[in-house]
Amino acid sequence: MGIDVPPDEELISEALAFEADDDIEEAAESSPIELKLDTSDCGLRLDKVLTSRLPQFSRSRIQQWIEEGHVLVSGKPARSKDTMYGDETLLVSPQAAADANAYQPEAIELDVVYEDKAIAVINKPAGLVVHPGAGNWSGTLQNGLLHRYPGIGAVPRAGIVHRLDKDTSGLMVVAKTIEAQTELVRQLQARSVSRTYLALVWGTPNVSGKVDAAIGRHPRERIRMAVLNNLSAKPALTHYRRLATGMIDGKPVSLLQCQLETGRTHQIRVHMQSLGFALVGDALYGKPHLAAVFPRQALHAFRLGLIHPQTGTECAWTAPPPQDFAQLLLRAGIAVPEEAV
C-alpha cells in the first residue's frame, strides 16, 4: 500500500528513540588495531580468534572486514576460515557499519508543501525511501529532514510518524517536536487523519466499495504482504471509489480514489490485488508482463487531512499527480480529476 502507520506496540515511546549501535561508534572512531598472536591461538580459525580478541565487534562484522580485505595476517589478506599457528601478527582496520550514515544529515531537495514550528508536510517523489533500512542507509527522506531541520534530530524517527512506499508518491506529515509527534500518532490511532490516494488499477471494479480484510506477512514470500485469516494478521480497511475508466494496450484500467482507515504495509496494493485488480506497474503484486507498462506502482497520496497538533484547527493539503502518473493517465485516456489538481 502507500502508507504504513507503525503498529500499536511500536508507537512513539522512549524505546523508539534512535540510539547509535556500539559497534558503529567503535568502528567509526577506532584506528587500525595490531594484534600479536600466541600459542593459545594455535589451531583456531582467524574469525574466531578476532571475535575473542575484539569482543566489542560482532563476528559477522569481523567476517565482513576479512572478506573485504581489511584484515591482514602477517601483511597479507586472509580468509575467515584460515587456521592460525599462533605466531602471526594481525592488522585490523575497523570499518564503519553501512548503517553509520543512517542518521546523518544530507542535502536532499524536499518539496515542502507546508511548514510551521510544529509540522512539515512533504510531497514525496517516487523513488525516495522514507527512512534508512537494509540496502538504503543513506539518501532517504529522513536524511534530508535532518539536514533541513537540524532540531528534528531530537524527535524520535526524525519526526516521521507514517510512511509511503519508496515508489509511491505524495503527501506525508512530519512532526518537528515530540509534542506534535505524540499528538499526530494519537490521531493516527484514532483514525482521524484523512489519507486519500489515487490508484490506477487493471480492470473495472465496482463503482464503489470497501475492503475489510486483515493483512499480514505472506507465509512463504517474506517481502510480500497478503490478506490472511490468522492471529498474526492485523485489521485493515480501505474504501474505494471508481473515478474513471480507460484503456492501456487494449486492456481496461480504472482510476480509483482510495481512502484509508488503517495504515498497513502495502495496504492498497494488497487489498486491490485481493479483489483481482492489481495496480498498474506493481511488479510485486501484479502480473509480470503487465508490470512492465509503468516503472512503479501507479499510486499517489494526493490528499492529507488532520487536526493541527498545536493549534487544533482542521487542515488539509492536496498534491497533483507527478508528471509520470499524469502521463500514464493521458495514455489511458483519463483526465486528471479536478479534485486532484
β-pair partners for 237: 212
User: What is the reported pLDDT for 221?
Assistant: 86
Which of these ranges, 132-136, 153-157, 172-176, 275-279, has the smallest mean pLDDT?
132-136
> Are residues 321 and 241 both part of a single domain?
yes
Q: What is the CATH number of the domain that holds 161?
A: 3.30.2350.10
> Are residues 230 and 296 both part of a single domain?
yes
Of 52, 72, 96, which residue is a domain's last?
Answer: 96
CA distance 88 to 109: 51
CA distance 110 to 104: 16
> Are residues 184 and 234 both part of a single domain?
yes
5 pLDDT higher than 60 = no
Of 48, 64, 96, which residue is a domain's last?
Answer: 96
Q: Which amino acid is at 85?
A: Y
CA 189 to chain CA mean position, Å: 20
Residue in 218, 200, 219, 179 with CA at minimum distance from that of residue 308: 179
User: What is the reported pLDDT for 138?
Assistant: 83
Enter the DSSP assignment of 183: H
> Are residues 92 and 122 both part of a single domain?
no
CA distance 124 to 114: 13
7 pLDDT higher than 80 = no
- Domain interval for residue 266: 3-15+105-340
Q: Three-state DSSP class for 146?
A: helix
Mean pLDDT, rounded, for 62-72: 92
> Are residues 197 and 163 both part of a single domain?
yes
Residue in 331, 294, 336 with CA at minimum distance from that of residue 319: 336
Mean pLDDT, rounded, for 10-26: 30
More confident residue, 4 or 132: 132
Which of these ranges, 9-18, 154-163, 265-274, 315-324, has the smallest mean pLDDT?
9-18
> Are residues 51 and 147 both part of a single domain?
no
> Are residues 87 and 144 both part of a single domain?
no
Q: Three-state DSSP class for 330?
A: helix
Pairing of β 119-124 and β 89-92: unpaired
- Contact between 40 and 86 under an 8 Å Cβ cutoff? The reply is yes
pLDDT tier at 278, thresholds 50, 70, 90: very high
Percent of the chain with pLDDT over 70: 87
Task: Give the other-Cβ count within 10 Å of 129's Cβ.
Answer: 21
Helix (H) or strand (E) holding 164: strand 163-164
pLDDT tier at 159, thresholds 50, 70, 90: very high
> Are residues 28 and 44 both part of a single domain?
yes
> Are residues 300 and 162 both part of a single domain?
yes
> Are residues 78 and 123 both part of a single domain?
no
> Are residues 79 and 125 both part of a single domain?
no
Total domain count, the chain: 2
User: What is the reported pLDDT for 231?
Assistant: 86
286 pLDDT higher than 50 = yes
Of 61, 96, 131, which residue is a domain's last?
Answer: 96
User: What is the reported pLDDT for 95?
Assistant: 79
> Are residues 74 and 140 both part of a single domain?
no
Model pTM score: 0.73
Q: What is the CATH number of the domain that holds 42?
A: 3.10.290.10
Catalytically annotated residues: 165
129 pLDDT higher than 60 = yes
Which of these ranges, 123-127, 231-235, 301-305, has the smallest mean pLDDT?
231-235
pLDDT tier at 13, thresholds 50, 70, 90: very low
Q: Three-state DSSP class for 15?
A: helix
Mean pLDDT, rounded, for 267-293: 93
User: What is the reported pLDDT for 125?
Assistant: 97
Mean pLDDT, rounded, for 59-78: 92
**Angle formed by the axes of helices 59-67 and 46-53, to 10°?**
130
With a CB cutoff of 8 Å and minimum separation 6, the contacts of 261 are 191, 237, 238, 239
